[in-house]
Amino acid sequence: MPLSIIEVLETEEFSRWIDEMKDTQSAVRILHRWEQVKLSGHLSGDWKTLGEGVFEIRFHYGPGYRTYFGLKNRQVVLLLCGGSKAHQKRDIDHAKHLWKSYLES
C-alpha cells in the first residue's frame, strides 16, 4: 500500500545532525530528498521498516548515510535522527528510543 505523506517534521536532533555535517554536499542531497517527499506526497526509494514504528531511508553516497523516521497515521513523517553505516546499530537503537519518547509525550 503506497503511503500518502502530507507532512514532514524534523526533531531538533535531526536538524542539528544536518547542520553539523562536515559533508555539506551530502547534507544538501539528504534535505533535497526529503523535500521531494514533501512535494510529491510519496515516500519512494530505498527505505524499509526497522520495527517498533521506526523506518530507515538509505543514501548511497558518502559513508552510507541513513535517516531514521517514524510514521504517524501513515501520513506524517517525523525525522528522528541520522547517521552512517558505521554506527547503524547504535543509531537504530537511538531512533527507536526517540520514537518511543515521542509517542509517550
Q: Is the residue at 49 inside a domain?
A: yes
- Is 20 in a helix, a strand, or coil? coil
Number of compact structural domains in the chain: 1
pLDDT of 10 higher than 70: yes
| φ, ψ dihedrals at 42, nearest 5° | -135, 140
Mean pLDDT of the chain: 92
State the pLDDT at residue 41: 86
Residue 81 is placed in which grid cell?
A: 535522527
State the pLDDT at residue 72: 85
Q: Is the residue at 1 inside a domain?
A: no
Residue-number span of the structural domain to which 37 is assigned: 7-100
pLDDT of 4 higher than 80: no
Who contacts 23 (Cβ-Cβ below 8 Å, separation ≥6)?
62
Q: Is the residue at 76 inside a domain?
A: yes
Q: Residue 101 and residue 34: Cα distance in Å, rounded?
A: 23
Q: Is the residue at 53 inside a domain?
A: yes
- The average pLDDT across 47-71 equals 94
- The average pLDDT across 80-104 equals 96
Residue in the block written with cell 559533508: 23
Tell me the CATH number at 24.
Answer: 3.30.2310.20
- The average pLDDT across 64-69 equals 96
- Give per-residue pLDDT as tens, 11-46: 999 999 999 999 999 999 999 999 999 898 888 889
Q: Is the residue at 105 inside a domain?
A: no
Which one is predicted more confidently, 1 or 28? 28
The pLDDT-based confidence of 59 (bands split at 50, 70, 90) is: very high
Beta-sheet strands, E only, within 14-64: 47-51, 54-58
